[in-house]
């Protein structure tokens, strides 16, 4: 799998945006995903693989060549796992991870090194929790992909502001992350003040995003890097 410029005869590439037509005409790729309208401009030696949505087809093809790592079911000897934690079949846990009391983790989920999962957290099946993630006060669905350094479930920013001093208001809600959500590196999601903070199914969150307490994101929401969503936004 390679770009139009770098692809050789044993590589597959794609053309989705017409501004790269010149590169397409000169590519040496063995095959290229392309819309039918541009197929007649494929250079000699390049097989045109026709698709109305070449970029989406390319994503599926690249995933086939480079699938995500799967859980090996291994528990590193340095990991600390509470006796009351319930790990389903084929869960793997990396070095120095800490898994608290009454945690539930679904089948085939991978927990990276130095991850800290607080008491009573629930994580679904087929998830990937990368290194140095911390999770508390949360319920996370199936097929979660959480990148390094993510913080989920910490206190929301709730204070009674006063000249007498800013009095912290206990944050008593949770973070609920529905199925098939991806969260980029070093993003933070605060738990709710009373109602829960909710991230809808299929949402994609980039790196360095802040989601404050009581926020509710619907299904399929996309937040790009350095976005900040203020508390109680829906």
CA 199 from chain center: how many Å? 12
- pLDDT of 54 reads 98
* Catalytic (active site) residue 137: no
Q: What is the pTM of this model?
A: 0.93
176 pLDDT tier (thresholds 50, 70, 90): very high
Output the furthest CA–CA distance in the chain (Å, rounded): 78
**DSSP bridge pairs for 222:** 204
Catalytic residue among 114, 137, 166, 213: 213
Tokens 């944050």 sit at which residue?
A: 171
Q: What is the pLDDT of residue 210?
A: 98
């Amino acid at each position: 799998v390679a770009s139009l410029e770098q692809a050789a005869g044993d590589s597959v590439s794609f053309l989705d945006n017409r501004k790269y037509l010149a590169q397409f005409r000169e590519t040496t790729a063995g095959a290229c995903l392309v819309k039918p309208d541009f197929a007649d401009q494929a250079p000699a030696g390049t097989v045109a693989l026709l698709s109305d949505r070449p970029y989406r087809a390319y994503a599926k093809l690249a995933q086939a060549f480079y699938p995500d790592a799967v859980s090996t079911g291994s528990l590193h000897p340095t990991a600390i796992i509470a006796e009351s934690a319930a790990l389903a079949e084929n869960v793997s846990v990396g070095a120095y991870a800490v898994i608290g009391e009454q945690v539930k983790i679904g089948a085939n989920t991978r927990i990276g090194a130095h991850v800290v999962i607080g008491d009573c957290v629930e994580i679904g099946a087929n998830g990937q929790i990368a290194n140095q993630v911390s999770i508390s006060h949360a319920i996370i669905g199936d097929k979660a992909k959480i990148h390094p350094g993510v913080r989920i479930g910490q206190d929301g920013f709730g204070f009674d502001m006063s000249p007498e001093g800013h009095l912290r208001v206990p944050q008593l809600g949770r973070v609920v992350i529905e199925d098939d959500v991806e969260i980029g590196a070093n993003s933070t999601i605060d738990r709710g003040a009373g109602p829960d903070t909710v991230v809808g199914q299929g949402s994609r969150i980039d790196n360095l995003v802040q989601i404050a307490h009581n926020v509710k994101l619907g299904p399929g929401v996309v937040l790009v890097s350095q976005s900040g969503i203020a508390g109680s936004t829906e």
